[in-house]
Amino acid sequence: MKRNFSSFFKQISAMHAERKMRIIACIATLGGLLFGIDTGVINGALPYMAAQSELNLSPLQQGLVTSSLTLGAAFGALIAGQLADRYGRRKLLFYLSFIFLGGTFCCSIASNAPLLIVFRFILGLAVGGASGVVPTYLSEIATEKLRGQLVAQNDLMITSGQLLAFMVNAIIGNLLVNTNGIWRWMIAFGMIPAMLLLIGVFFIPESPRWLIQNQRLPMAIKILRSLRDNRIQIKTEISAIQKSLVQQQPQSFDWQLLKSPVVRKTFLIGIGLGIVQQIIGINLIMYYGTTILLKTGLDHHAALIANIGNGVISVIAADIGLRLMDHWTRRKMLLSGIGITTCSLAGITWCSVQLSNLKIFPFLIIGLSMIFLFFFQSLVSPTTWVIMSEIFPQQIRGVGMGIATFCLWLGNFSVGLVFPVLLSSIGLAKTFLIFVLTNILAFIFCDQVVPETSGKSLEKVQFELRRQAKKES
């Protein structure tokens, strides 16, 4: 009887701890939602702001307006990684929420292209900071069992933010027909979730791993007691973290650390994954989906509505990806996803050459785009974010994630900048052919370099990377 009661209370305790972690994840991933909104809103807003009666943007200016946010995100990720290691994950999220709020407001009132580019760059600092800090924070508060799901939840929130932006764009674009400055209302919508993040940060704890690293053990124990279901688990986890910290001296990042084979290897993997995620071509669809559909012959209002389909597919796929994390290995998800995205882009290229004169052409492009989005968002995107958050040593995890995310955003910036120029100069088919080739390169890299991290503690991942690096050196 006593055993039954004991088992019952342990189960209740475990459910309470898991529920609390999921609530914390929902608040922290508002940063992911804002990431999605601020990158997705440009998809529908760009054709309006590019009009002669508005900002009269050239193809190069369209690329700069789109990619200035991602350039800012690159530097935001780099700076935020160091600040997160120095001041803590939670405190940095608090300050990022202010930049989200102020940057969105300034973008919505920009009077010309240069100002909009500058304000989008500033907003990008927050987007990039959140893109690195949120997965790091989630990986550090989560248990081994929930880590994949909680980090992948951030990816679900990113795609949800993009869908929300597409829906708001479509609603505003169809309700406020012939209204001047319609794009300003599309952008201003992002102030609402920014305010929610600002309030929500007061209700989440600091990362216990960061606290232990900074000799604040009593506070870490207090937080872990609310996030774990038994004291033995807490003692084991603290012991593993402390042992890992001793093995990973020094305590702050120094470029001399790159002389270490294991640090070089983790940076190669992290930076490579960041670049891979972007050269696959996801943001051809997420940033320029409306522009691509206009090129196929759809009118503007129809393109805005059709683009919601892309957002819906992305959210459904991200949710499926989150659930697959418990059943498929990381490498299986990653390699399967890249294989299918390569085929999808090859299909778009072929259709653009052979079928562009047919009435069905726009619908074929929509269908292939949705296939691409589904498998990227369910298999590739969540897996890259999860692995990037898992591979770096605790003492340089913030900086490591920041540098990897910096490279991710540089890739994002490059794609966002060159796509409209390529589209106007060499056409749809040749532009997509270039990205078929980059997908093939991405597959080769992931197959040869990326390790398996499923079902392993962060400390075990580090141990295996150290052992492998010693064999290779």
User: Do 389 and 84 touch, CB atoms closer than 8 A?
Assistant: no
Q: How confident is the model at residue 210 (pLDDT cuts 50, 70, 90)?
A: confident
pLDDT of residue 80: 84
> What is the residue type of 361?
F
pLDDT of residue 189: 92
Q: Domain segments of the chain: what residues?
A: 18-472
d(CA 323, CA 155): 12
Three-state secondary-structure class, residue 440: helix
pLDDT of residue 91: 92
| Percentage of the chain modeled with pLDDT above 90 | 24
d(CA 31, CA 153): 11
- Mean pLDDT, range 212-229, rounded to an integer: 84
pLDDT of residue 173: 82
436 vs 298, higher pLDDT: 436
Q: How confident is the model at residue 99 (pLDDT cuts 50, 70, 90)?
A: very high
In degrees, rounded to 5, the angle at the alpha carbon of residue 60 between the alpha carbons of residues 285 and 276 is 40
CA 372 to chain centre: 17
Question: Has residue 113 got a pLDDT over 70?
Answer: yes
17 vs 112, higher pLDDT: 112
pLDDT of residue 347: 92
Query: Rounded to whole angstroms, what are the CA distances from 304 to 39, 83, 243, 424, 445?
Result: 16, 39, 54, 21, 36
d(CA 422, CA 393): 40
- Mean pLDDT, range 248-257, rounded to an integer: 55
Question: Has residue 313 got a pLDDT over 80?
Answer: yes
pLDDT of residue 346: 94
Q: How confident is the model at residue 101 (pLDDT cuts 50, 70, 90)?
A: very high
Q: To 10 degrees, what angle do helices 89-109 and 59-87 make?
A: 160
**CA nearest to 397, candidates 35, 30, 137:** 137
pLDDT of residue 126: 93
Could you tell me how many residues make up the chain?
473
- Mean pLDDT, range 262-284, rounded to an integer: 86
Range ranked top by mean pLDDT from 114-123, 287-296, 379-388, 445-454: 114-123
Question: Has residue 375 got a pLDDT over 90?
Answer: yes
> What is the residue type of 190?
G
Rg (CA), the chain: 22
- Mean pLDDT, range 380-407, rounded to an integer: 83
Q: Which H or E element spans position 428? A: helix 397-449
- Mean pLDDT, range 202-220, rounded to an integer: 88
**Model confidence over 329-370: pLDDT tens digits?**
899 999 999 999 999 999 989 988 888 787 788 788 888 888
Worst-scoring range by mean pLDDT, 252-256, 393-397, 424-428?
252-256
Question: In sequence order, what DSSP letters do the residues of 64-117 get, joined into one string?
Answer: HHHHHHHHHHHHHHHHHHHHHHHH-HHHHHHHHHHHHHHHHHHHHH--SHHHHH
Q: What are phi and psi of 308, to 5 degrees?
A: -60, -35
Task: Supply 229's token pair.
Answer: 């279901």
- Mean pLDDT, range 44-49, rounded to an integer: 83
The yes/no answer on whether domain 18-472 falls in CATH 1.20.1250.20 is yes
| Percentage of the chain modeled with pLDDT above 70 | 89
- For the chain, give the mean pLDDT: 83
pLDDT of residue 286: 64
